[in-house]
Amino acid sequence: MKRIRIDRLSSQLLAATPARPPPSSNRIPRALAASRLSPAPSVCQTRCQSTAASPEVIYEDAGRDVAAPKPIDYSKRPLPSPHPDRALRSAKLAALHARLSLSSKIPLQTLARTLIDPSADAHPRFNNVNLAFVGAALLQYHTSEFLVTRYPRLPMTILFAAMKGYAGVPALHQIARAWGIEAAATPGEEVDPGLLQFAPDRPTVTMNRWGYVRAESKELQRYKWRRGVSSRILYDDAFGELVPGESEQSHDGLELSKQRNTKDMIVEDVAQNAHANFVRAVIGAVYLHCGRDVAKTFAKAHVLSRQLDLANLFNFKLPTRELVRLCARENFDAPVARLLSETGRLSRTPVFVVGIYSGTDKLGEGVGPSLDAARISAAINALKSWYLYSPGDTVGVPSDTLAEDAAPWKPVYVDIGEIIS
Amino acid sequence: METRHLLRPLSSLSSSTTTTATASAMSSSTSPFTRSIVAAATGRRHQSTTSRTKKMLKIPPHPDFLTPREGESHIIYNPPSAAPSVYHTPFKFLPKTDPRRQANLTQLIRSSADLSGPSANANNLPPPSTKREGAPKMYNVTREQVDEMRTLRAEDPAKWSVQKLAERYKCSHLFIMMCCKAGPEHKAQERERLEAIKARWGPIRSGAREERKKRKALLFKGAI
- Mean of pLDDT values over A137-142: 96
Residue range B67-86, pLDDT digits in tens: 777 777 777 776 677 888 99
Q: How high is the mean pLDDT of chain B?
A: 78
Residue A361: beta bridge partners? Answer: A358
Q: How high is the pLDDT of residue A237?
A: 86
| pLDDT-derived band at A48, boundaries 50, 70, 90 | very low
Measured in angstroms, the CA of A415 and the nearest CA of chain B are apart by 9
Instruction: Tell me the C-alpha distance between B137 and A92, whole Å.
Output: 72
CB interface of A with B, residues 179-208, below 8 Å: none
Residue A331 region, left (φ>0) first, then alpha (ψ -120 to 50), else beta?
left
Mean pLDDT of A179-194: 94
Residue A280 pLDDT > 90? yes
CB atoms within 10 A of CB A324: 15
Confidence category of residue A74, pLDDT binned at 50, 70, 90: low
Distance between CA atoms of residues B19 and B30, nearest Å: 16
Per-residue pLDDT averaged across A222-239, rounded? 88
To the nearest whole angstrom, how far is the Cα of B147 from the nearest Cα of chain A? 28
How far are the Cα atoms of A161, A229, A256 from residue A242, in angstroms, in the given order? 14, 12, 20
pLDDT over 50 at B9, yes or no: no
B212 contacts in A (CB within 8 Å)? none
Q: pLDDT exceeding 90 applies to what percent of chain B?
A: 42
pLDDT above 90 (res A105): yes
**Residues making up chain A, counted from first to last:** 421
The answer to whether residue B64 scores a pLDDT higher than 80 is: no
Q: Cβ contact (<8 Å) for B114 and A333? A: yes
Min Cα separation A315/chain B (Å): 5
Distance CA B172, CA B157 (A): 17
Chains A–B, number of C-beta pairs less than 8 Å apart: 109
Higher pLDDT, A241 or A2: A241
Report the helix count and the strand count for chain A, using DSSP H and E: 15, 3
For CA atoms B160, B161, B163, B165, give the dihedral sign: positive
Q: Are A108 and A102 in contact (CB under 8 A)?
A: no
Per-residue confidence (pLDDT) for residue B111, from 0 to 100: 67
CB contact under 8 A, A389 and B93: yes
A231 contacts: CB under 8 Å, gap ≥ 6: none
The secondary element (H helix, E strand) that includes residue A337 is strand A335-343
CA of residue A156 relative to chain centroid, distance:
17
**Res. A419 pLDDT band, cuts 50 70 90:** confident
What are the angstrom distances between the C-alpha of A267 and each of A28, A125, A195, A264?
A: 7, 22, 21, 8
CB-nearest partner of A362 from B90, B97, B133: B90
Percent residues over pLDDT 70 in chain A: 74
Q: Which of A340, A361, A365 sits opposite B92 (nearest CB)?
A: A361
Query: Mean pLDDT, to the nearest integer, of A177-204?
Result: 91
Residue A178, pLDDT > 50, answer yes
Assign A136 a pLDDT band (cuts: 50, 70, 90): very high
Evaluate if residue A253 carries a pLDDT over 80.
Answer: no
Residue B44 pLDDT = 54
Residue range A5-21: mean pLDDT, rounded = 42
Do residue B87 and residue A367 have CB atoms under 8 angstroms apart? no
The strand pairing partners of A335, in sequence order, are: A358
The answer to whether A361 contacts B91, with C-beta atoms less than 8 Å apart, is yes
- Per-residue confidence (pLDDT) for residue A16, from 0 to 100: 39
Q: How far is CA A135 from CA A167, A208, A284, A293, in A?
A: 11, 9, 4, 13
Return residues 381-400 of A near B (CB < 8 Å). Answer: 381-382, 384-386, 388-391
> Which residues of chain A have a CB within 8 Å of the CB of B211?
none
Q: Write down the pLDDT at residue A371.
A: 96
**Residue to substitute from B101, B129, B216, interface A, most A β-carbons within 10 A:** B129
Whether the CA torsion B185, B191, B193, B199 is positive or negative: it is negative
Give, as one character, the DSSP assignment of residue A116.
Answer: B
Cα–Cα distance measured from residue A204 to residue A199, given in angstroms and rounded to the nearest whole number = 9
B63 or B176: which leads in pLDDT: B176
In CATH terms, the fold of domain A314-387 is Double Stranded RNA Binding Domain (3.30.160)
In chain A, where are the structural domains located? 6-310, 314-387
Which residue of A367, A371, A386 is in closest CB contact with B83?
A367
Query: What is B98-118 written as a DSSP string?
Result: -HHHHH-HHHHHHHHHHHHSS
- The answer to whether A31 and A205 have CB atoms below 8 angstroms apart is yes
**Phi, psi for A172 (deg, rounded to 5):** -70, -30
Architecture label for domain A6-310: Orthogonal Bundle (1.10)
Strands (E) across A344-394 are located at 351-358, 361-368
- pLDDT of residue A28 exceeding 60, the answer is no
Least confident of A175-179, A367-371, A389-393, B62-66: B62-66
What pLDDT, on a 0 to 100 scale, did the predictor assign at position A6? 47
Are A371 and B114 in contact (CB < 8 Å)?
no
Q: Under a CB-based contact definition with an 8 Å cutoff, are residues A275 and A170 in contact?
A: no
Asked if A140 and A163 touch (Cβ cutoff 8 Å), the reply is: yes
Report whether pLDDT(B36) > 80. Answer: no
Q: What whole-number percentage of chain A has pLDDT above 90?
A: 58
How far from the centroid of its chain's Cα atoms is residue A145's Cα? 15
> What part of A 309-368 touches B (C-beta under 8 Å)?
311-312, 314-317, 319, 332-334, 336-340, 352, 354-355, 357-368
**pLDDT-derived band at B148, boundaries 50, 70, 90:** very high
Mean pLDDT along residues A80-109: 95
Which pLDDT does position A281 carry in this prediction? Answer: 96
Q: Which helix (H) or strand (E) holds A137?
A: helix A129-150
Contact residues on chain B for A415, CB-CB shorter than 8 A: 95
In A210-269, where does DSSP find H-type helix? 217-223, 229-235, 258-261
